[in-house]
């Protein structure tokens, strides 16, 4: 009876792991593409956190008495960049969890499944 149970459990496990692996593959592809797009947006919005050095140099050339003002990025620029960075961190964390899940699935399927331990594996599940 244990060998029948073991065979059915292995079939179920194989189907489950195959489905989860497919889901993790799709998740990892989406997270990678999403991270790439987020990085492009982050690079563009990051420019708002720094002063425009070209404009400052141009003003200095036109007016020798020009004193460089203290630069403070706008609150909107700060909030937008915080949100972009937060989204990128979440996307990378999702990728990390996806990779860990795939490794766990591989370890789950690689465990020893000989017939002498059928009772052990039935109790383990």
Tens-digit pLDDT profile for residues 65-96: 667 777 888 999 999 999 999 999 999 999 99
Report yes or no: 115 and 10 within 8 Å, Cβ to Cβ.
no
Average pLDDT over every residue of 20-30:
96
- Give 4 or 114, the one with higher predicted confidence: 4
Sign of CA dihedral 41, 46, 52, 54: negative
Tell me the C-alpha distance between 21 and 47, whole Å: 39
pTM above 0.75, yes or no: no
Tell me the C-alpha distance between 106 and 90, whole Å: 24
In the numeric block, the tokens 């599940």 are attached to 125
| The pLDDT value given to residue 54 | 79
Tell me the C-alpha distance between 56 and 90, whole Å: 36
Domain ranges of the chain: 28-124
């Amino acid at each position: 009876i244990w060998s029948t149970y073991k065979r059915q459990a292995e079939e179920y496990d194989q189907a489950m792991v195959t489905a989860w692996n497919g889901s993790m593959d799709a998740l990892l592809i989406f997270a990678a593409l999403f991270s790439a797009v987020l990085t492009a947006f982050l690079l563009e919005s990051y420019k708002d956190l720094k002063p425009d050095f070209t404009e400052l140099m141009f003003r200095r050339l036109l007016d020798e008495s020009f004193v460089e003002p203290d630069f403070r990025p706008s609150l909107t620029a700060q909030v937008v960049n915080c949100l972009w960075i937060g989204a990128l961190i979440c996307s990378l964390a999702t990728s990390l969890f996806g990779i860990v899940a795939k490794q766990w699935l591989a370890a789950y399927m690689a465990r020893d499944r000989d017939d002498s331990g059928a009772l052990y594996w039935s109790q383990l599940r």
